[in-house]
Amino acid sequence: MRRALRILPALALALALTSPVAGGGIPVEQARASARAALDRRDPIAAEVILRKAIAGGVPADALRAQLAEALLRQGEGDEVRRVLAAGGFTPETSGLGWRVRGQLELASGNLGGAAQAFDKALAVAPRDADLWTAIASLRFSGGEQAQAVAAADFAVRLDPRNPGALALRGMLIREQYGLLASLPWFEAALRLQPDDPGLLGEYAATLGDIGEYRAMLIVCRKIAQIDPRNPRPLFLQAVLAARAGETDLARAILLRTGTALRDVPAAILLNGVLEFRAGNSNLAVAQFDRLLRVQPDNLQARDLLARALDRMGDARQVVTRFDADAQQAYASPYLLEIVARAWAKLGNRARADQLLARAAQRGTRAAVPLRTDLPLPVLAARYADGPRFAVNAVPYVRALLAAGRKDEAQDVADRLSDANPGAADAWLLSGDVEMARGRTGEALADFGNAAAIRFNEPVLRRMDAALRALGARDKADGMTSRYLAQNPSSLVAMKLLDASWAAGGATPARRQLGKALAARGQLPGLD
């Protein structure tokens, strides 16, 4: 009933766009054109009504099935899309669209294999469809094939330089590959063609916020709210901005207005936890950080925050139970070491507390070490044997091999993964990490460079900076990190790397300016 009521407001518009022929039927080409016009103005409900009316008036369902499925997909009606697609086939001239929509449905459902099969069938009949190649690029990016995604998006733009979807996706990939500022012209080009697209405006607003253009971001957010009042993204971006400004109550109020729309989004869970912690609601913060760790068990920031929230609650026993094993690892942050030390002191174990505090007081560069694994090495080896080409199996196995001192075997596993996935930046990072653990810094730098050519983000920056400095190439490291900061002006990682590098030169004007930028973000630069 609710679905029927939702369709009714579009009926009058749909009737105005269609003119029945004698006998009440609608010519197939007229129905298609009217439905396409409705989709172009972002009204998939009107498109659905037009198409269903045409089918009821005698147009063969197969002739309009692909467009009807597309209209339903635009509404997020996945189950209804499946029902429509399962009810019949496509005509020759609509089969390309039909298979593309089927692929997009599978991609949205997380079925990457099913999406690939559908896109292959679409390619067989529509090999030069820019929308199809844009969808293929999305599939490849979702599957970790970043280099192949860039190639597909590039081809889509070459096929149709005025395709907003292709331009927007290329902008998102440029953002990953070269930086925030480099992506802005792509989003702006897409917006000139489709100025009222909420998804495109959301990406543009997020990028503006990340480069510190907050006033411009708010203007775009207001436009999204006008165009699509139920869209939660502008509210989330405004909540982030309020949180950065220290306006905790305002940020919580804004985030509350998103309802349950972002309940399972990791970034929203993290923000919610931080805001509850700031507001003094430690128990609610614990619940949020706990949820986040169930989704992202290797998120070290979330682990530190959960430990801090438990510490504030005074639950020393739970702090040591959950985090003493982490504190024993070489990668434990000074922050976590201090929290666990306080907990041991409260429990009366002063010796253990002093040991952790001594480690927390150590400063300087620490050697990279693998994260610990929760499963025994033989179990991880068996899992890896079942799927050696998949990172979910290879990564924990490499960690366990490194922890066991079997570095050569770890290198073989990591290299096999990067050979099988040459377009995945993370696979190259894994190979480089093992090279670094083996003391082969030059080879590691080459692997990190391969990753950077695909996706130059903060994890890549950290590794390349460390490798260059280990090789004595401080000027190259500073130049690379400065260029990264120029493209990504809000990157705390880049600021801290430069601040640490420039410390030996004293309080120069450039370092003072960098220190002010860090202080404005609540950081403590090591100014002389």
CATH of the domain at 409: 1.25.40.10
Q: Does residue 441 share a domain with residue 396?
A: yes
Last residue of a domain, one of 455, 488, 514: 455
Any domain includes 151: no
Residue 269 lies in a domain: no
11 and 102 housed in the same domain = yes
| Domain shared by 34 and 105, yes or no | yes
For residue 256, how many other CB atoms are within 10 A of its CB? 12
Asked if residue 201 belongs to a domain, the reply is no
Q: Judge whether 241 lies within some domain.
A: no
91 closest CA partner among 68, 56, 66, 72: 66
Domain boundary among 408, 426, 455: 455
Q: Do 353 and 430 reside in the same domain of the chain? A: no
The residue among 312, 437, 389, 361 whose CA lies nearest residue 145 is: 389
Is residue 15 domain-shared with residue 104, that is, in the same domain? yes
DSSP assignments along 29-87, one per residue: HHHHHHHHHHHHTT-HHHHHHHHHHHHHTT--HHHHHHHHHHHHHHTT-HHHHHHHHHT
Determine, yes or no, domain membership for 240. no
d(CA 311, CA 289): 13
Say yes or no: 285 and 381 in one domain.
Answer: no
Residues 423 and 440 in one domain: yes
pLDDT, position 12: 37
Q: Are residues 6 and 104 in the same domain?
A: yes
Same domain? 383 vs 346: no
Residue of 471, 473, 419 lying closest to 450 (CA atoms) = 419
The verdict on residue 248 lying in a domain is no
Report the 10 Å Cβ neighbour count for 428.
28
Q: What sign does the CA torsion over 484, 488, 493, 499 have?
A: positive
Residue 207 belongs to a domain: no
Boundary of a domain, candidates 426, 455, 484? 455
**What domain count does the chain have?**
4
Same domain, 434 and 312: no
Say whether both 420 and 487 belong to one domain. no
Residue found by looking up tokens 């630069």 in the block = 525
Q: In Å, how far from its chain's centre is CA 203?
A: 12
Q: Is 250 helix (H, G, I), strand (E, B) or coil?
A: helix
Count other C-beta atoms under 10 Å from residue 198's C-beta.
17
The pLDDT score that the predictor gives to residue 193 is 96
Report how far residue 345's alpha carbon sits from residue 51's, in angstroms, rounded to the nearest whole number.
71
Give the pLDDT confidence score for residue 364 in this predicted structure.
64
Provide the domain limits for residue 6.
1-127
In this prediction the pTM is 0.85
C-alpha 494/C-alpha 510 separation (Å) is 14
Residue-wise pLDDT tens for the chain (528 aa)? 444 444 444 433 333 333 343 334 568 999 999 999 999 988 999 999 999 999 999 999 999 999 999 999 999 999 999 999 999 999 999 999 999 999 999 999 999 999 999 999 999 999 999 999 999 999 999 998 999 999 999 999 999 999 999 999 999 999 999 999 999 999 999 999 999 999 999 999 999 999 999 999 999 999 999 999 999 999 999 999 999 889 999 999 999 999 999 999 999 999 999 999 999 999 999 999 999 999 999 899 999 999 999 999 999 999 999 999 999 988 888 999 999 999 999 999 999 999 999 998 886 666 677 888 878 999 999 999 999 999 999 999 999 999 999 999 999 999 999 999 999 999 999 999 999 999 999 999 999 999 999 999 999 999 999 999 999 999 999 999 999 999 999 899 999 999 989 887 766 888 888 888 888 777 765 443
Q: Is 297 a member of any domain?
A: yes
Alpha-carbon gap, residue 271 to 251, rounded angstroms: 9
pLDDT for position 313: 94
pLDDT of residue 369: 77
Please check whether residues 10 and 61 belong to one and the same domain. Answer: yes
pLDDT of residue 10: 42
